[in-house]
Amino acid sequence: MQIRSIVAAAALVAAAHSASAQTFNGGIPAGWNCQGLSLCGTLGADGDVTLAPTGAAKYGYVVSGEQTPTDLSPFSLGAETTGSRLRSASFSANAGDPLKFYFNYITSDGAGFADYGFARLLNASDLSQAALLFTARTKPDGTIVPGQDMPLPQATLLPASVPIIIGQNGIGPTWSPLGSDSGGCFDVGCGYTGWIQSSFNIAASGKYVLEFGVVNWDDNIWQSGMAFDGITVAGVPIVPEPETWALFAAGLAAFGWMGRRRRDA
């Protein structure tokens, strides 16, 4: 009975942790907020953008747009035009907890029109910045993370060097959220990064919000976007699937019942 209980417990813990791979399988989670004409969504493998290395069937994404608001960027590089961002529901974390996720920056805009993407950790109380996790910005060659002329990110990236990958068609990235720009490219620098892991140790205990954004620069055409998945804090998803945690709770209750039965025997 003891061995069986240990095996069952391990299975339940594994199920709870594997929920990080399921965050976007059912769409954008409840409590998350998309700003920028709802240019956010979830998607499976599509064109040049594969599934994240998490085992999930879908990832989340955000894209820029031709008519989205201009005030959604936390930066001021001088020529921001349109942009979109997605913010998570608030979640609790302890000091030292590792925050991890994967991202993939995709752009159809090239040299001279340096679109950018970013991720930030915000304080839930007032949405002030707690940490800049990463920036990615279009440029003709070399690593695009951190973004050119942008603040240095505080997260550790794996791999650390992030060059752009040219689309399989040899022109621009094929990815349906880019709309009519999918498969196209303006000048040099179009492509995608592939999946990069971001890891950051949260400095202080508190409640936080995770933010992903992407911004057009110096025009409002030739869109860019970002995909993300595998979001965990201390190895636990910030948005657990209800059925996973229901299973976990049921398992704990079962262990309690087995313990009482054993004492009563």
DSSP per-residue string spanning 100-125: EEEEEEEESB-TT---EEEEEEEETT
Q: Which CATH architecture has domain 28-238?
A: Sandwich (2.60)
Return the higher-pLDDT residue of 254 and 170: 170
The residue ranges of DSSP E strands in 74-195, in sequence order, are 80-87, 91-93, 98-107, 116-123, 129-137, 156-158, 191-192
- Is the pLDDT at 22 greater than 90, yes or no? no
Q: Give bridge partners of residue 200 from the DSSP assignment.
A: 99
Q: Is 252 left (phi over 0), alpha (psi -120 to 50) or beta?
A: alpha
* The predicted structure's pLDDT at residue 16: 46
Exposure class string for 29-66: b at 16+ Cβ within 10 A, else e: beebebbbeebbbbbeebbbbebbebebebbbbbbbbb
- Is the pLDDT at 41 greater than 90, yes or no? yes
- Token pair, residue 23, equals 């965050």
Q: What is the mean pLDDT of residues 140-144?
A: 87
d(CA 143, CA 162): 5
Residue whose structure tokens are 């349109």: 82
What lies within 8 Å, CB to CB, of 72 at 6+ separation is 35, 36, 83, 84, 85, 213, 215
In the chain, the amino acid numbered 262 is R
Return the minimum-mean-pLDDT range out of 5-9, 63-67, 162-166, 177-181: 5-9
- Token pair, residue 104, equals 């993939």
d(CA 93, CA 87): 16
d(CA 64, CA 214): 6
| pLDDT band at residue 247 under the 50/70/90 scheme | very low
Neighbours of 249 (CB within 10 A): 12
H-only helix segments in 26-184: none
| pLDDT band at residue 198 under the 50/70/90 scheme | very high
Q: Where are the domains of the chain?
A: 1-23+241-265, 28-238
Q: What is the mean pLDDT of residues 195-220?
A: 95
- 191 in Cβ contact with 104 (< 8 Å): no
Strand pairing of 224-233 and 129-137? unpaired
d(CA 181, CA 112): 17
pTM beyond 0.75: the answer is: yes
d(CA 65, CA 175): 14
